[in-house]
Amino acid sequence: MASLMTELKAVNIMLAAIGEAPVNTLTGQSTADIIQAQAILDDVSHEVQLVGWDFNKDYDYPMTPTEDDEIVLPNNVLSIDCTSHPQLDTVQRGRKLYSRKERTTTCFTDAEYKVEMVTLLDFDDLPEAAKRYIAMRAARRFVDRILGAEATHIYSQQDETSAKSDLEEVHSLTADFTVFDNMDTARAVNRSNVGGCRYNV
């Protein structure tokens, strides 16, 4: 039976892609190839997670302001929006929430604020479909970086595309989407209800 993907296994996949022997641990490893493999794996993981998937997105997450009326964000926040107070028109500025309406970070005077937040997770905390897609994408990038774009890849572009499709399928199954999560579908449903009339399909 195939074992679950880990950061060590992902790095070994990347090393195998350039003909290097696997390692038993990542602790204390300092060879150039291993360091570069880990860096590329981290970059690809960050790149993939930045999109915001069901597994790294929180809804109605409570945030409490500091005594200075600021909302300080966790270090792993990739994107954030205050959903409980949309009139503040908030964005991320550094490690703080900033109100474009008030033009300051020191305007959060209520006891609590609810946000929608995308966070960067450690590789081993990701679901299997995400880890496999990231490992495959990182391996292809690693080969290009070390051996050049003309080198033979152990994974094809089709393999990477298929792994991404698997991730998207898992996302759609776990995200509890409704028809109203698709803007085009929502508009069509709304049009069918104009004037209080509902058209049966």
Q: What is the pLDDT of residues 105-142, one digit of tens each?
A: 999 999 999 999 999 999 999 999 999 999 999 999 99
Cα separation, 144 vs 123, in Å, equals 22
Report d(CA 103, CA 166) in Å as an integer: 42
Q: Please tell me whether residues 69 and 105 are part of one structural domain.
A: yes
Final residue of a structural domain among 77, 94, 119: 119
Same domain for 78 and 61: yes
Q: Are residues 38 and 136 in the same domain?
A: yes
If asked whether residues 131 and 156 sit together in one domain, one would say: yes
Burial class of residue 82, CB neighbours in 10 A (0-12, 13-18, 19+)? buried
Task: Say if residue 132 is in the same domain as residue 45.
Answer: yes
DSSP H/E element including 27: none
Q: Indicate if the pLDDT at residue 28 is higher than 90.
A: no
Q: Which domain covers residue 141, as residue numbers?
A: 7-50+127-175
pLDDT at 200: 40
* Residue 31 shares a structural domain with residue 16: yes
- With 70 as the cut, is the pLDDT of residue 168 above it? yes
Instruction: Give the pTM.
Output: 0.77
- How confident is the model at residue 176, as a pLDDT? 58
DSSP state of 82: E
